[in-house]
């Protein structure tokens, strides 16, 4: 939110809600892939190898999502849609938002971001879905990753700047984290020489979580609704807060 925009007096809206469904479904897919170790199954398939014993013998055993604690960092529209789906899998959903507010029918606990550090050791899955602002840079840094329980899994579908990628690689190499999935990286496209490509138990999708065949329909409907509010003189929604940055 550069200064000229903040001082322009222009009313700016955002596409809140347009990407929430595909991103929530994509994130559920990433969690299932990590729990059931689909990446290794695919690698065995590519080699025409029946890898059941190899997958079974790994220290990162195949697990269930049922009963696991899912900590959603950024409990906004994407977080809410993810929570709905995670609850259907029997997961225990906790949310973290800037204010500590959110739909309490979707989460056992909703905490303000200042309490994030204290609850990290209790989460089995940590999903980063917060907006990119000055305050959220390296929100999940080396200290936060070290705070997570041994065997936790981390997923970032927000922006690459929110996660310390070097600390993530080290935790995966040392085995303190059982897995991670990234749909976003600090540099995109991800350079071929990036250590992320060879990090163990890391599943990467190329920033595709927001893509959907229904995207343009949702965007059109949102734009028409906003235009109708404007021409009718009604209060606008999805208005960007220049101070918060989203």
Cα 202–chain centre separation: 14
pLDDT tens-digit series, residues 64-101? 999 999 999 999 999 999 999 999 999 999 999 999 99
Annotation says 4 is catalytic? no
Question: Looking at 104, 188, 214, 221, which residue is catalytic?
Answer: 188
Question: Looking at 159, 165, 178, 201, which residue is catalytic?
Answer: 159
* Residue 111 in this model has a pLDDT that exceeds 80: yes
- Separation in Å, CA 236 to CA 13, 91, 231, 232: 8, 35, 10, 10
* Residue 43 in this model has a pLDDT that exceeds 80: yes
Annotation says 85 is catalytic? no
DSSP for the chain?
--HHHHTS----B--TTTTHHHHHHHHHHHHHHHHHTHHHHHHHHHTT---HHHHHHSSS----STT-EEEEES-SHHHHHHHHHHHHTT-EEEEEESSS-S-TTS-SEEEEGGGHHHHGGG-SEEEE-----TTTTTSB-HHHHHHSPTTEEEEE-S-GGGB-HHHHHHHHHHTSEEEEEES--SSSSPPTT-GGGG-TTEEE--S-TT--TTHHHHHHHHHHHHHHHHHHTPPPSSB--TTTT-
| pLDDT at res. 47 | 97
* Residue 38 in this model has a pLDDT that exceeds 80: yes
| pLDDT at res. 243 | 87
Question: Looking at 36, 44, 85, 207, which residue is catalytic?
Answer: 207
Task: Note the pTM of the prediction, 2 decimals.
Answer: 0.95
* Residue 59 in this model has a pLDDT that exceeds 90: no
pLDDT tens-digit series, residues 177-219? 999 999 999 999 999 999 999 999 999 999 999 999 999 999 9
* Residue 231 in this model has a pLDDT that exceeds 90: yes
* Residue 176 in this model has a pLDDT that exceeds 90: yes
Tokens of 211: 């893509």
| pLDDT at res. 208 | 98
Tokens of 141: 């840094």
- Separation in Å, CA 98 to CA 37, 95, 167, 234: 33, 10, 24, 28
Average pLDDT over residues 42-61: 94
Tokens of 233: 């003189």
Q: Where are the domains of the chain?
A: 19-43+61-212, 213-246
| pLDDT at res. 72 | 98
Annotation says 3 is catalytic? no
Backbone angles phi, psi at 31, to 5 degrees: -65, -45
Beta bridge partners of 13: 239
Percent of the chain with pLDDT over 70: 100
Residue of 97, 76, 71 lying closest to 17 (CA atoms):
76
Candidate CATH numbers 3.40.50.720, 3.40.50.1370, 3.30.1490.20, 3.40.50.300; the one for domain 19-43+61-212: 3.40.50.720
| pLDDT at res. 1 | 77
* Residue 155 in this model has a pLDDT that exceeds 80: yes
């Amino acid at each position: 939110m550069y200064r000229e925009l903040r001082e322009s007096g222009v009313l700016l809206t955002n596409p809140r809600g347009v990407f929430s469904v595909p991103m929530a479904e994509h994130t559920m897919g990433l969690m299932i892939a990590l729990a059931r170790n689909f990446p290794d199954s695919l690698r065995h398939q590519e080699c025409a190898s029946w890898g059941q014993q190899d997958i079974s013998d790994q220290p990162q055993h195949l697990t269930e999502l049922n009963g696991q604690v899912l900590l959603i960092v950024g409990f906004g529209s994407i977080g809410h849609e993810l929570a709905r789906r995670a609850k259907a899998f029997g997961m225990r959903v906790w949310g973290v938002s800037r204010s500590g507010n959110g739909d309490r029918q979707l989460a056992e606990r909703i905490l303000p971001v200042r309490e994030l550090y204290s609850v990290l050791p209790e989460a089995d899955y940590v999903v980063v879905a917060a907006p990119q602002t000055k305050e959220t840079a390296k929100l999940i840094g080396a200290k936060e990753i070290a705070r997570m329980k041994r065997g936790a899994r981390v997923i970032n579908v927000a922006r690459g700047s929110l996660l310390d990628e070097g600390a993530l690689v080290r935790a995966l190499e040392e085995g303190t984290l059982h897995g991670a999935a990234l749909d976003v990286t600090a540099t995109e496209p991800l350079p071929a020489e990036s250590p992320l490509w060879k990090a163990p138990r890391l599943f990467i999708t190329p920033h595709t979580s927001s893509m959907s065949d229904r995207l343009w329909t949702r965007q059109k409907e949102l734009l028409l609704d906003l235009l109708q509010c404007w021409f009718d003189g009604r209060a606008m929604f999805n208005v960007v807060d220049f101070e918060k940055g989203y």
